[in-house]
Chain A
Amino acid sequence: AQSVTQPDIHITVSEGASLELRCNYSYGATPYLFWYVQSPGQGLQLLLKYFSGDTLVQGIKGFEAEFKRSQSSFNLRKPSVHWSDAAEYFCAVGPNLYNNNDMRFGAGTRLTVKP
């Protein structure tokens, strides 16, 4: 069964500093990988996704993620964090064309941005 692990429950960074959020997945086939962001009390917004091709994926709000098959990882990065990036971030591994199972989410990483 597919699963996702986000090792960091909470991360604090200073505004302007770089950011990397870790995500490891377990999946037997080629994964569809996603990063979502959630502001308090809101739904989840898609930041970026990977399904094939270039392993470095660009998303919205200046985020990017790199798929590393050898490490089963899909880490999210941003070179310079803004105060508005404070939120909860979820990594997910999703259904593919041949698997009707649902998307599996990590437990989330809460990002705090210090002024």
Chain B
Amino acid sequence: DGGITQSPKYLFRKEGQNVTLSCEQNLNHDAMYWYRQDPGQGLRLIYYSQIVNDFQKGDIAEGYSVSREKKESFPLTVTSAQKNPTAFYLCATRNTGDPYGNTIYFGEGSWLTVV
């Protein structure tokens, strides 16, 4: 199957713990993104990566970290420094070689709850 796979779908974390959300894609897209979604606030960008071994902070990067060691993978770590991590997290990809729209494609999301 082609697409974007996020795991786990549901994750519970105790306060003070770091957790890592996985995002894997087999679309051969260069760019990958992490968004956070809270009710009534739409999507906010956490980090994005245009190529392997390079990534940029988005609007709300504090308390998060990422790596891009492989084109297919862009894991997101939610650290204990993130004050309010309970949210729905969406991974997305984009084919930067597409001259006709640069569409972003989304995974199914991961729910993170801090308990």
Contact = CB atoms under 8 A, between A and B. Distances in A.
Interface residues of A, number: 25
Question: Interface residues of A: mostly helix, strand, loop or mixed?
Answer: loop
Given A42-B108, A102-B58, A49 B40 contact: no
B50 A103 contact: no
Interface in B12-71: 33, 40-43, 45, 48, 50, 58
B101 interface: yes
Nearest to A95: B102
B42 A43 contact: no
Given A44-B90, A102-B33, A94 B101 contact: yes
A41 B99 CA distance: 31
Given A9-B40, A43-B108, A100 B101 contact: no
B109 A43 contact: yes
Contacts of A34: 103-104
27 contacts: A9-B40, A32-B101, A34-B104, A41-B88, A41-B109, A42-B108, A42-B109, A43-B4, A43-B90, A43-B107, A43-B108, A44-B106, A45-B106, A46-B103, A49-B101, A51-B100, A92-B104, A94-B101, A94-B103, A94-B104, A95-B94, A102-B33, A103-B104, A105-B42, A106-B42, A107-B42, A108-B40
